[in-house]
Structure 1
Amino acid sequence: MQAVAVRKENTIIFGLVALAAIVLLGYMYMNAPAFFRVNNLVNVLVQTSVLGLLAMGMSFVLIGGGIDLSLPAILAFSAIIGVIAMQTTQVAMLGPIMMLAIGAALGAFNGAAVAYFGMAPFVVTLATMTVVGGASVWITGSQSVSGYPPVFDDVIRFRLLNLPMLVWITAVITAVATAIIAKGAYGRQIKAVGLNPRAALIARMDVKRLVLSTYVLSGCFAAITGVFLVARLGSASANLGNDSLLLDIISACVIGRVSIYGGIGNPLHAVLGALFVTLISNSMNQLGASYFASLILKGVLIIIFVYLDQALRRKA
């Protein structure tokens, strides 16, 4: 019954979000037709893919009952280490391997601190964000790092049907991640942990291992995003993990009905939320609106959707 109620509520909320998106697109058609140029639409898909990968990583943690504030910092740090490794060895394949290793290791640290040492997710990931962010600035001296083998860019920037490889890979990862959460035993287990960890423990689920795994996956998603951002920008810097990125990630998740209270959501919804957030950012940029106005709007959306989530849970 609860699952049916959640699906019904999701349908209503996604209908409202879709209506808002249609109204926004109609407004853009009338006032900023340049929004619909092919180059800009491709840019929207690329930005959605970047934010969508990070939102998927966050969705695993949120569904499992946690939160990861360190995603942008892990992205930047893993990208920096990966670029330095390629720069030093001139071996292109070493970069993605190092980035994934760093992302997984930092995710494992967060997960172990939360699952095995009982530390609060907010505090642990905030500390990781601060330490790793500081390390990124210290290592780079607030400068960009580059000088890696050109073959890295050639492979990652490959286009299929005029769409960057990032868009295609994000689509594949979204399909796989959504299937795991919606249909797989792992997805059912982390939802159970997110809804009621005590009941999951009584049901003999390995709660600690499951919580740990969500943070490892989150770190890996951050690292994968770093791989594509490095190829897109041609360098890595501490600014890859800017402050507004975390706001966008959380906005994408809550708009996509990934509950911050745990146990509800799936990666596809997080990506759809990322698309809506990207439409807002791109539209306001096309209209010449202030960057701070965009931040205010996203903050208001977070408050509205968290309130809706809480109200619907109370009703259920």
Structure 2
Amino acid sequence: MTTIDDVPAPARFGLSRQLVISATVLAVLLIILGFYAPNFFRYNNLMNVLLQSSLLGLLAIGMAVVMIVGGIDLSLPANMAMGAVFGAFYMKVTGDWTIGVPIMIATGMAVGLINGCAVAYLRMIPFVVTLAMMTVISGATVWLTNSLSISQLPPAFVALFDARPLFRVPLTVVYVAILSIVVSVLMRSSIIGRWAYAVGINDRAARVARVPIKNVVLASYVFAGTMAGLTAVLLTARLGSASANMGNDGVVLDIVSACVLGGISIYGGSGRVWGALLGAILITVLSNAMNLIGVSFYLSLVIKGAVIIGFVAADRRKETRQ
């Protein structure tokens, strides 16, 4: 009988070509910036890049787990924005951040639970479900806020989650780095992680191996929603406000891009979670670099899109060979 141990190790944990290429591209890009945009290496700019990468990386970690299982969650940015708005509403009215933070996280988990149930138990197509969810909660968030920002949040909330206690390094960077390590270890070493890769590689074989497929798929979407909730907390603290615009459509592209550039296969069952964080750093550095050297916004979109297409094409070739 097929067992979970029959899943080939390289498929689960191998260092993908995309990941190696991304690391190389990042190194080359940093060298070029040293010659043509030395301002990039100013301390404040580096901290800003790390902070932006961390917030994007947190969403990318959630997306990576979903993609490894073989799905996708396009609603993550909108989910984040809704959680931020709900929590900010509560904190502004009551001044109590100790309840506002759980509200943000619970909102993200609830949306993830709905997505997961629709995909796992109703067998709906992930792309369609999460796209519809993105539309619904984006519209709801704009309607609730009247397109206005919610500010005047408790100072203690901002001070705690946007602190820079050591060498002005944001605590957000530390939080995300630790979380990335923990999730990567769990995905590599725990039975739940092995189940996730097994479902992404071949759900029929996973079913024969008695993997609880529905529960694994559901858990992946709930986890992604939790990451959206955590991002809502950290981003709201950084901005000192919350708004529906926090989850604009462009963020979805950056999240998927970070995963693809980080070696997460869009076909499921392959990639390392920490690679998504590397992809987020590459995307952020690329955007920052083009801004520093004066590349227009629209041309930067063309360049980013071309890079992503190249990586997806490489992923497709790898899938075809297998």
1:94 to 2:99 alignment: yes
1:52 to 2:37 alignment: no
Question: For the Cα contact (< 8 Å) 1:247–1:298, is it kept in 2?
Answer: no
Across the aligned residues of Structure 1 and Structure 2, the Cα RMSD in angstroms comes to: 1.5
1:20 to 2:25 alignment: yes
In the TM superposition, 1:297-308 aligns within 5 A as: 297-308=303-314
Structure 2 partner of 1:265: 271
Question: For the Cα contact (< 8 Å) 1:52–1:275, is it kept in 2?
Answer: yes
- Within the candidate set 133, 154, 157, 1:152 is matched to 157
Residue type matched to 1:253 in 2? C
Structure 1 partner of 2:194: 188
- Within the candidate set 294, 297, 311, 2:317 is matched to 311
Structure 1 partner of 2:46: 41
Structure 2 partner of 1:170: 176
Question: For the Cα contact (< 8 Å) 1:250–1:302, is it kept in 2?
Answer: no
| Residues 148-177 of structure 1, C-alpha deviations (whole Å, 9 max, x = no match) | 211101111222322111000001100100
| Residues 247-266 of structure 1, C-alpha deviations (whole Å, 9 max, x = no match) | 11011000111011111112
Please, what TM-score do these two structures have when normalized by structure 1?
A: 0.96
Deviation at 1:8, TM superposition (A): 6.5
Deviation at 1:68, TM superposition (A): 0.3
| Residues 215-274 of structure 1, C-alpha deviations (whole Å, 9 max, x = no match) | 000011011011011011110001101111111101100011101111111210110111
Q: Which runs of 5+ in 2 are unaligned?
A: 1-6
- SS across alignment from 1:93: helix
| Residues 39-89 of structure 1, C-alpha deviations (whole Å, 9 max, x = no match) | 001111101101110100000100011000000000100000000011122
Q: Which runs of 5+ in 1 are unaligned?
A: none
Structure 1 partner of 2:144: 139
In the TM superposition, 1:191-206 aligns within 5 A as: 191-206=197-212
Matches of 1:92 and 1:41 in 2, distance apart?
Answer: 30
Give the share of equivalent positions with the same residue, in percent.
Answer: 47
1:63 to 2:82 alignment: no
- Within the candidate set 241, 248, 253, 1:242 is matched to 248
Residue type matched to 2:148 in 1? Q
In the TM superposition, 1:276-291 aligns within 5 A as: 276-291=282-297
Matches of 1:208 and 1:228 in 2, distance apart?
Answer: 31
1:255 to 2:255 alignment: no
1:80 and 1:8, CA in 2 relative to 1: closer, same or farther beyond 3 A?
closer
- Within the candidate set 205, 214, 219, 2:225 is matched to 219
Matches of 2:217 and 2:165 in 1, distance apart?
Answer: 37
1:89 and 1:128, CA in 2 relative to 1: closer, same or farther beyond 3 A?
same
The count of aligned residue pairs is 315
Matches of 1:87 and 1:98 in 2, distance apart?
Answer: 13
Matches of 1:20 and 1:83 in 2, distance apart?
Answer: 39
Question: For the Cα contact (< 8 Å) 1:35–1:41, is it kept in 2?
Answer: yes
- SS across alignment from 1:171: helix
1:72 to 2:81 alignment: no
Residue type matched to 2:180 in 1? T
| Residues 118-161 of structure 1, C-alpha deviations (whole Å, 9 max, x = no match) | 10000100000000000110001011012221110111122232
